[in-house]
C-alpha cells in the first residue's frame, strides 16, 4: 500500500502514526495529512522501531525537543548512557540522538531503540570509523552507505547526513575565511575525507542510493549543516548559505521519492540574525521542518550554554523553527552527566514552550493559566504539580520554610498574592499582627 509516511499521505491514507500525531496536537487529520504530503510536517517512524510513540515535527505542531546521548572513547560506559536514556524518556523528550563514536556502539544503539518510545536519530558517519576499524581516509564510499543501511535496519527513525557540503560548497568555504572553520563533527570528518581522497562527498554523489535506503525503511533524512557557524562572527556567511541552497535542492529530490526531510540549522548566531535565518531556511528549503542546535547567542558562557541556547531557541522557535536540539551546561567542555542532561532538557523545554505560546499552538497557554491561578490561590501543591521541574520547586521551598504557610521567605506576609486574596475576599489584612 505504501512504504513511507509521505507516500501514504500523498495517497490519502491516514496511517496510525498520523492519527496519533493529529490527536496529540489537536490538529484536523486531513490538514495533518496534507502537510505531511507537502513535506511541511515529518513523522520520523522507521518500520523497525516497534516501541515508538510517533511524533510530528513541522508546521502548526508543538516545538519538539531532542537530547544527544552516546558513548565515546573517553566515556564508553553503555549502562551509564542508558541511565540517561531512561531519565530523558521520563522527562518526556520527543527525540534522542545517539551520537556514539567508539566502543560498543551497536549494542548501545539496539538497546536504545528497543526501550525508547521517543524517536531515535543517529549520525552514521560518527560510527563508521569504529565500525570498520579503519582510518577515515581508508573508508570507501560503499562503506559509508552501508553504515546508513545498518542504522536504518536497526530501527533508527532519522539520520543526520551532511550531503549539502559538496565540492562547490568546499570552494566557497575556502574563499571565505572563518574564525572557527568547520565546527560540525560530521561535517569536519566529511570535509577531511573529501580532501584526503580528492573526491566528491559520497552522500551527495550517490544521493539516489541513499534515498533507496530511506524509502525501504521509512528513514527520515535530517540534512545536516556541515557548514553551520561555530561562533557568532561566522554566522550567515557565504559558506552557510551556499550549503543551505544545496539542501533545498536535495529536499525536493527526496520528496520526489516520498522520503521525509528535516533541515538542520545553526549553530552560533547573534540574536538579531535569528529570525531572518529562519525565514531564509523556510524559503530555500520549501517549508521543510527546521531543526536547530541553539542557536547559541553568545560565545562567552562555557558552563552556561544551556542558557545561551535557550535564549536563541525560544527566538528561533517563535520565528518558525520546529525542533530544538538541547544544549547542556557541559557544551564545549565535556560529555554531559545526568544532571547536565536534566538541566539541558529543562532549559530547552522552557524555550520550546515559550515559543509555542507565541506560535499559538493549541492549548499551550492553558498550562501557564493553570499555574497563574494556583499562584493567585496560593495553592502550593498545584503549583508543584504544574512545575516543569517539580522536584526542584519542592526542594527550594523546603530549604527555606516560611513562618506562615500562605507566604514564602521572599515577601513573607507582604506577599502580593496573599494581600490581594485577603482583600478581594473581604478579609482583614494582618501584616504585623499574628
Give residues with Cβ within 8 angstroms of 320, minimum separation 6.
278, 279, 282, 290, 359
Element (H, E) at 122: strand 119-122
* pLDDT digits 0-9 by tens, 42-82: 999 999 999 999 999 999 999 999 999 999 989 999 999 99
Q: Which residues define the annotated binding site for Zn(2+)?
A: 268, 332
What does the alpha-carbon distance between residue 276 and residue 272 come to, in Å, rounded to a whole number? 8
Determine the length of the chain.
434
Residue 160 in grid coordinates: 543526520
Question: Three-state SS for 262?
Answer: strand
DSSP one-letter code for 27: -
Question: In this model, does residue 318 exceed pLDDT 90?
Answer: yes
**Average pLDDT in the chain:** 96
pLDDT band with cut points at 50, 70 and 90 for residue 404: confident
pLDDT in tens, 356-370: 999 999 999 999 999
- Measured CA angle at 425 (ends 421, 428), to 5 deg: 85
Closest CA to 147 of 122, 115, 177: 122
Kind plus residue range of the DSSP H or E element containing 264:
strand 261-265
The x, y and z cell numbers of residue 416, run together, are: 502580593
Mean pLDDT of 79-94: 97
CA atoms of 184 and 189, how far apart (whole Å): 8
**What pLDDT score was predicted for residue 430?**
87
Q: Which residue numbers belong to the known binding site?
A: 68, 97, 126, 162, 184-186, 225-228, 264, 268, 291, 332, 408, 411, 415
Cβ atoms of 198 and 242 within 8 Å: the answer is no
Cell 507566604 found at: 407
- Give the pLDDT score at 312: 98
Question: What's the average model confidence in pLDDT over 286-307?
Answer: 98
DSSP run (H or E) holding 213: helix 207-217
Q: At the top level of CATH, which class does the domain 5-358 belong to?
A: alpha beta
User: Binding site residues for substrate, as ranges?
Assistant: 68, 97, 126, 162, 184-186, 225-228, 264, 291
Does residue 119 carry a pLDDT above 80? yes
- For 222, the 3-state DSSP assignment is strand
Please state the domain extents for the chain.
5-358, 364-424
pLDDT at residue 434 in the model: 73
Among residues of the chain, what percentage have pLDDT more than 70?
100
> Is the per-residue pLDDT at 432 higher than 90?
no
For residue 398, count other CB atoms closer than 10 A to its CB: 8
Kindly state the average pLDDT of the residues 76-94.
96
Q: Quick one: which of 205, 221, 216, 204 has its CA closest to 255?
A: 221
pLDDT attached to residue 19: 98
DSSP letter (8 states) at residue 269:
-
For range 252-274, the mean pLDDT: 97
Whole-number Å distance between alpha carbons of 220 and 157: 6
Burial classification of residue 38, based on how many CB atoms lie within 10 Å of its CB (0-12 exposed, 13-18 middle, 19 or more buried): middle
Q: What is the mean pLDDT of residues 83-95?
A: 97
Half-sphere exposure for 117 (CA within 13 Å, toward CB): 9
Query: DSSP string of 66-107?
Result: EEEE---SS---HHHHHHHHHHHHHTT-SEEEE---SSSHHH
CB-based burial of residue 323 (10 Å sphere; 0-12 exposed, 13-18 middle, 19+ buried)? Answer: buried
Nearest to 266 by CA among 277, 282, 251: 277
C-alpha grid cell, residue 301: 558562557
pLDDT digits over 4-15, tens only?
A: 999 999 999 999
Distance CA 248, CA 86 (A): 36
> How far apart are the two ends of the chain, measured CA to CA in Å?
74
3-state secondary structure of 421: helix
**C-beta atoms surrounding 350 within 10 Å:** 16
* Cell triple for 144: 559509508
| Residue found by looking up cell 536514556 in the block | 85
Per cent of the chain over pLDDT 90 is 93
pLDDT at 130: 86
Q: What is the pLDDT of residue 51?
A: 98
CA distance 401 to 384: 15
Measured over the CA atoms of residue 178, residue 181, residue 183 and residue 184, the dihedral's sign is positive
Phi, psi of 324 (to 5 degrees): -110, 130
pLDDT value, residue 389: 97
Helical spans, DSSP H, in 26-77: 29-38
Q: Look up residue 367 and give its three cell numbers.
A: 498550562
In which element (H, E) is residue 160 found? strand 158-161
Which whole-number Å values give the CA distances from 61 to 194, 218, 354, 357, 381, in the listed order? 38, 21, 14, 12, 30
Amino acid at each position: 500500500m505504501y512504504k513511507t509516511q509521505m507516500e501514504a499521505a500523498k495517497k490519502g491514507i491516514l496511517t496510525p502514526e498520523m492519527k496519533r500525531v493529529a490527536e496529540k496536537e489537536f490538529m484536523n487529520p486531513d490538514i495533518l495529512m496534507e502537510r505531511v504530503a507537502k513535506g511541511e510536517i515529518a513523522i520520523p517512524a522507521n518500520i523497525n522501531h516497534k516501541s515508538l510513540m510517533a511524533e510530528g515535527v513541522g508546521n502548526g505542531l508543538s516545538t519538539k525537543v531532542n537530547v544527544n546521548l552516546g558513548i565515546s572513547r573517553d566515556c564508553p560506559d553503555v549502562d551509564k548512557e542508558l541511565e540517561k536514556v531512561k531519565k530523558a524518556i521520563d522527562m518526556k523528550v520527543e527525540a534522542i540522538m545517539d551520537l556514539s563514536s567508539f566502543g560498543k556502539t551497536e549494542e548501545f544503539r539496539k538497546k536504545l531503540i528497543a526501550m525508547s518510545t521517543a524517536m531515535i536519530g543517529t549520525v552514521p558517519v560518527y560510527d563508521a570509523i569504529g565500525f570498520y576499524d579503519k582510518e577515515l581516509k581508508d573508508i570507501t564510499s560503499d562503506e559509508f552507505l552501508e553504515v546508513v543501511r545498518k542504522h536504518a535496519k536497526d530501527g533508527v527513525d532519522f539520520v543526520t547526513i551532511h550531503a549539502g557540503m559538496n565540492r562547490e560548497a568546499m570552494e566557497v568555504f575556502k574563499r571565505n575565511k572563518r574564525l572557527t572553520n568547520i565546527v560540525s563533527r560530521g561535517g569536519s570528518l566529511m570535509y577531511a575525507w573529501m580532501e584526503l581522497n580528492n573526491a566528491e562527498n559520497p552522500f551527495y554523489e550517490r544521493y539516489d542510493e541513499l534515498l533507496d535506503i530511506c524509502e525501504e525503511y521509512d528513514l527520515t533524512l535530517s540534512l545536516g549543516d556541515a557548514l553551520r557557524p561555530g561562533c557568532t562572527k561566522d554566522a550567515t556567511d557565504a559558506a552557510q548559505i551556499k550549503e543551505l541552497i544545496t539542501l533545498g535542492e536535495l529536499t525536493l529530490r527526496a520528496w520526489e521519492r516520498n522520503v521525509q526531510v528535516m533541515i538542520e540549522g545553526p549553530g552560533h548566531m547573534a540574536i538579531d540574525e535569528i529570525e531572518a535565518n529562519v525565514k531564509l531556511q523556510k524559503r530555500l528549503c520549501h517549508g521543510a521542518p527546521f531543526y536547530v542546535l541553539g542557536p547559541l547567542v553568545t560565545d562567552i558562557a562555557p558552563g552556561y550554554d544551556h542558557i545561551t541556547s535557550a535564549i536563541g531557541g525560544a527566538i528561533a522557535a517563535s520565528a518558525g523553527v520546529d525542533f530544538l536540539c538541547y544544549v547542556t551546561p557541559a557544551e564545549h567542555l565535556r560529555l554531559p552527566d545526568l544532571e547536565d542532561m536534566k538541566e539541558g532538557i529543562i532549559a530547552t523545554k522552557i524555550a520550546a514552550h515559550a515559543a509555542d505560546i507565541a506560535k499559538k499552538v493549541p492549548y499551550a497557554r492553558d498550562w501557564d493559566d493553570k499555574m497563574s491561578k494556583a499562584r493567585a490561590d496560593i495553592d502550593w501543591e498545584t503549583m508543584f504539580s504544574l512545575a516543569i521541574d517539580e522536584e526542584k520547586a519542592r526542594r527550594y521551598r523546603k530549604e527555606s520554610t516560611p513562618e506562615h504557610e500562605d507566604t514564602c521567605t521572599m515577601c513573607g506576609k507582604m506577599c502580593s498574592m496573599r494581600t490581594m486574596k485577603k482583600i478581594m475576599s473581604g478579609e482583614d489584612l494582618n501584616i504585623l499582627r499574628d
